[in-house]
Amino acid sequence: MKKITNDFYIEKLESVDKKIIVKDEGLKITEDALLLSNFVKKKLASCKKENTGKRSNILLEIGSGQGTISLLLSEIKTIEKICAVEIQESIFKHLNENIKINQLEDKIIGINEDIKDIQGEYGYIVSNPPYRKVSSGRLPENESERISKYEVTLTLEELFMQIRRLLKNYGEFFVIVPDERLNDSFLYIYKNNMNILELEINKYRKRNLVIIHGKKGGNQNSGINIETVQQHSEK
C-alpha cells in the first residue's frame, strides 16, 4: 500500500497485477468484492464466446464504486467489454483514474449515471449492492459511504428489476448479499421471472455472505446448486 495524500492511497491487486486508488474514508476494498470477483472469474473464464450478437459478451457492473470488481474481471478473455456504472460523481472520478492508470480504456467503460437511466442489453450483470436497509440503524454521516452501503439511491428490489430489464434473454447475473437479505433476494428474483442457478455460501464467525448466480429465463423449478465455503477470517 502506498499513501499518495492524507485521503488517498494506492493498493496493488496482486492477483491481476493491477493498481487501484482507494479513498481512505469508508470506501476501502471489501472482502465482498473479492469473493464476488473470484466467483465470477471462475465461472466465466472457461466460457466460450457466444455467437448470439455483439452484446452477448459485454458485462455490466451495477454500482462499481472505485472499480475494484471491474479491474479484477478485466482479464477474463471471453468478456469483450465491461461497462462500470457508478452514480456518485465524486467516486466516478476515482473509477476513471483507476481505469487509466491500469491502461484499460479499451476494456472498461466508466459510466456516471443512475442505473435506472441505462439502456441496452447485456450478457452478464455483476453487483455488490448497497444491501443495508435505511431503517436498520444510524446512517453514516459520510455521503459516499451512506450511498454505497445503504438502500438510499437503489433498493435491493430495484436492483433485481434493473437486472431483469438490462439482461438479454438467458443472460446471467451475479450478486452478493448477506444471508439476512437472502429471502428478500429470492422474492425479488422470482417476482421478476428470473431463475437461480446456484448459491455460494461463505461462512464467517459472525455472519455469512451469499453469492447468487442466476439467469433471465429458464425453468424456475430446476434445482439450485449450493456450495458452502468456510472462511477463516472474521466478518
Phi/psi region, residue 120 (left: phi>0; alpha: psi -120 to 50; beta: rest), is: left
At position 110, the amino acid (one-letter code) is: G
DSSP 8-state symbol, 63:
S
pLDDT at 52: 44
- With a pLDDT cut of 90, the percent of the chain lying above it is 60
Q: What is the pTM of this model?
A: 0.87
Crossing angle, helix 182-191 and helix 156-166, to 10 degrees?
40
Rank 51-55, 127-131, 187-191 by mean pLDDT and report only the highest: 187-191
Instruction: Tell the burial category of 221 from Cβ atoms under 10 Å away from its Cβ (0-12, 13-18, 19+).
Output: exposed
Q: Which of the four CATH numbers 1.20.1250.20, 3.40.640.10, 3.40.50.150, 1.10.8.420 does domain 29-230 have?
A: 3.40.50.150
- The domain limits of the chain are 29-230
Q: Give the model confidence (pLDDT) of 186-223 as tens digits.
A: 999 999 999 999 999 998 877 899 999 999 987 776 78
| Residue 174 confidence (pLDDT) above 80 | yes
Higher pLDDT, 31 or 223: 31
Report the chain's mean pLDDT, rounded to a whole number: 85
| Residue 25 confidence (pLDDT) above 60 | no
Higher pLDDT, 229 or 29: 229
| Residue 135 confidence (pLDDT) above 50 | yes
pLDDT at 53: 47
d(CA 60, CA 111): 10
For CA atoms 43, 47, 52, 53, give the dihedral sign: positive
Tell me what the mean pLDDT of segment 28-38 comes to: 88
Q: Give the model confidence (pLDDT) of 141-165 as tens digits.
A: 777 777 777 667 899 999 999 999 9
Tell me what the mean pLDDT of segment 69-75 comes to: 94
